[in-house]
Structure formats: structure tokens, C-alpha cells
Amino acid sequence: MKVLICLCILIVSYKSHAFVIYEGTRVWDQEIITFHFLDGTEQQKSEVKRFSKLWQRYTGITFKFTNKKPPNFSLNKYYEITFKGNSNESTQGAINGTIYLGNLSEDIIFRKTTILHEFGHMLGLAHEHQRADRPISLNNKDLINACLETQKQPLAWCQENLNNLNHREVFIQSEYDTNSIMHYKLHNVAGKNNELMEQLPESNNNSLSYTDKYYISLLYNQNISDRTLKKMHKQDLWNQEKFEMSAKRDTENAILSLATSSCKPIKNGQQSKDGKYCNEGIMIIGVDDYSFPDDDFSGCHNRYSYVEDIMNSHKLCQLTRHQLKKQRKSWSQQFSSFGQCKRLDTNQKNKQDYFCNEGFSFVTKNNNMIGNKTICYNSQESVFEAMKENEVCNLSDLDFRIYQKIQKQKLAKKLKTKNCQVVKKVYKRINCPKDFDYTIIEIDKADAPISDKCFSNQYQAIEEMNKIDNCQS
């Protein structure tokens, strides 16, 4: 998307508006522009022809495509198109120029955006985000650093295509248009820099904006009325929505068709057995329907090539079903304990008789609940991460012994209220089931329990005692 020549001032007035381009650019005065394909597959050529029609619709200029080189001696200017190289860029304006499409994405939506952008340069347009009146937030050195990381381009490329502003005096009556096809999607450039992303204007420019269409028609096709233009734009929006929905559906179906003996993709909204899912995009999980703890499998993906690469090259996706089962056991043991804590699996009870009928929890090594309630987690990895962050789990052996002593003292205080007490005693009047030895008594009537209820542990008895009004008053 590199700008190869400078632009210059040319003002075309119409209905009190002005369309401005910079000094040096030649405006097309041909009814037909010929494009010579130097190379490319039939699919690549077909997409160029298909997507560039949108510019023809608003310029009134006919684009003619050929595999044969035009005559050397001709008054008409023409462009060459090549798909070789590693960048997308174009000469600007009505000269014998070249459009380079050497870095087209696998994403057809992005391919369309790229083709429209480079054809915009061919028609004489410069980068919208490099206008002198651009938002101050774009004058950010972090943007260049992010460009180096995300775009994998040299420093000179990032500076020329992002930083360098055209300070020539111009008269621009259109407002700055973040949705212009000539505006880079700077959020893509920002990458994982969330702080930078918050400062940058968001661009929704998978196709031509209304401003693009309005001003290009003023320059090349003034016969289009405002009313007709609005009607055409409305139709374009509907077509673009259908195009994007179809493209995303085709990509999703292609990704979902990928699988190996141990890996498979699941679409957004579907969950793995351990509760992992994607709101947007596709996640790779095991064929046993459980997720993988490896970071390479933690994201949600919309790129076919990335998912295909993981499927074909990652060692976890090359396992047999038997090897995957063996690996699951290894991970289970790896995530079973941390520091002073251990994991409890589904339906395993702690000393307080609490458990998770789905998922996992964690307790101290002596099986005591930590805190006032048992929290259930979807996966063994999430329990392990919770243990790593828990203060009790990270105590030293000495501090843990002190912690246990304090917990024992707190428990002793909870066993007694103003009027009641939890005791472990067998009464002749009631028969407690085996291992249900705790009862609640009124302190001034110590010869009998307050009710016929028996409890398997002190904690349940305390919880019940706190519900009895006579015990609290």
C-alpha cells in the first residue's frame, strides 16, 4: 500500500463542494483503462475483476483486463498488475503504472479491501490517515513500534505509510473519514497493544465509504445525482453484508472440516466438556471433547491457515487416541496440587462435606475448605491457576501450621452461641446414624439435643445452629 509518487492540487467544483488531490497527480481523462496481468492465477485475476467493479460503478470509467501487453506507442495510459513480491502497493494517477498485489491475505474480505485500496491509489487517491488534519492520536511513536511487530515490514515502510504527513496546502471540505477505503485499519496495526488501540480511531472500511463514493463521482462522474448516489450506496451496503456473511460462513465451514486423530475444531457457542468456548471464532480441542492446557490452543481463531498449521504441525495434534488418553492422565497429575493445597475432583467431598457435582474444587492438604464456601471450576487447569493465586496455598510450612491453629480456634468459637452449642455426644432419646455424631443442644438444657437432627461434621451443625432463632437471641 505504499505511495510511490507525490500528489498535487486539483480542484473540481460541483454543487459547492470540492474534491482535492495533491500536486503531481494526473487525473484520468480516458473512458477505458486497460490493465495488463503480468502473472497470477485465474482466481486472483477473477477477484481483481470482480472487486474493482465497485470503482467503475462510481467513476463511470470502464476497466479492461488483458493478459497481453498493450502497444508501446499509445496515447492512452495503462497499468500492469502483478501478484509477485511481498507487499501491496500502487503507483498513483493517470500514468503507465503498476499495481503490486504480492501480499494478499487468505481472508477474501481482506483481499477485497486490499484490491479496492490499491485501485484507489490508481485513481489518484492518497492515504486518508496521512492527511495533515488527521487526529492527533495518530501521531504516536507506539504506532510505528506496533507496525514493526505486526506488519513485519522495515522501519522505512512503517514511517512512510503511517507517520509521514503531506503538509502541502490543500482545501479539503470533506471531514476526516476513518471509514474511507484509503484509511488503514490501525487496530490491526496496533496488535496486542490495548493502550494504543484505545487511542486510535476505529475503521470500518471493508469497502468504499459513502464519502469515497461521493467525492470520486464528483471527480469522474458528475452525472450521478445525490439521490441516485444514496440509493446506490444503500444497495452496496446490502450486497457487502451478504458478501461478508457468505465469506465468514465459507471460512468457518472450511476450518470446521479440519481434524486429526487427536484434535478437532469447535465453532463459537459450543463448549468443551471442561467448559471452554469462544464467543467469536473457532477453538481447537481434543477429540475427547476436552480442551488443551497448552497456550497454543487457548485462543479463538478465524484464520484457516493458522488452524491448519496447528493441526498439521503441533505435537498434541499428532497423538493417537491412546496417547491422548495417557497425556490427559499426566496433566491430571500435574495439576493435582500446589503448595499447601490439593484438587478435589467431581463428587469428592471435603471435611465440611461439600463437593462439586460438576467440575473441580480445591482444599488444604488436610482436606479443609478454604474460606466460607466451596467454589467449583470447569477445568483442572483453572483449579490449578486458582491454587497458584490463593494466599493459603502459597503459605510456607511454618505459616501453614500457624494458619491451621488459628482456624481451629475460630472453629471452637463458632461451636457455641449465646444459648446453644454443637456437641459430639450420644443421647438415649435419639439414634444417630453411623458417622452422624454431632448434635445441637441448648446450654441450659444440656441433658438433651435441641432436635432429633444429627450431623456428620461440626460445620454442618454450625450452619444449622445459625438458623435457629432460639440459639441467637
pLDDT tens-digit map of 154-171: 899 888 888 888 765 554
pLDDT of residue 3: 38
DSSP code per residue over 76-111: S-EEEEE--SS-EEE--SSSSEEEEE----S-HHHH
Q: What percent of the chain has pLDDT over 70?
A: 92
Q: Would you say 94 and 21 are in contact if contact means Cβ atoms under 8 Å apart? A: no
- What domains lie within the chain, and their CATH numbers? 2-224 (3.40.390.10), 263-330 (no CATH), 335-397 (no CATH), 415-472 (no CATH)
Per residue in 256-283, pLDDT tens? 999 999 999 998 889 898 888 888 889 9
Q: Is the pTM of this model over 0.85?
A: no
Q: Read off the pLDDT band of 360 (50, 70, 90).
A: very high
**pLDDT, position 88:** 92
Place of cell 507487499: 87
Higher pLDDT among residues 452 and 319, named by residue: 319
Query: Comparing 107-116, 200-209, 226-235, which segment has the lowest mean pLDDT?
Result: 200-209
Distance CA 156, CA 125 (A): 21
Q: Say what the pLDDT of residue 284 is.
A: 95
162: DSSP letter:
I
Closest CA to 63 of 84, 33, 89, 91: 33
**pLDDT beyond 60 at 400:** yes
Q: Which of 8-17, 33-42, 217-226 comes out lowest in average pLDDT?
A: 8-17
Closest of 209, 205, 272 to residue 244, by C-alpha: 205
How far are the Cα atoms of 46, 96, 98, 167, 319 from residue 69, in angstroms, in the given order? 18, 12, 13, 38, 53
* pLDDT at position 168: 59
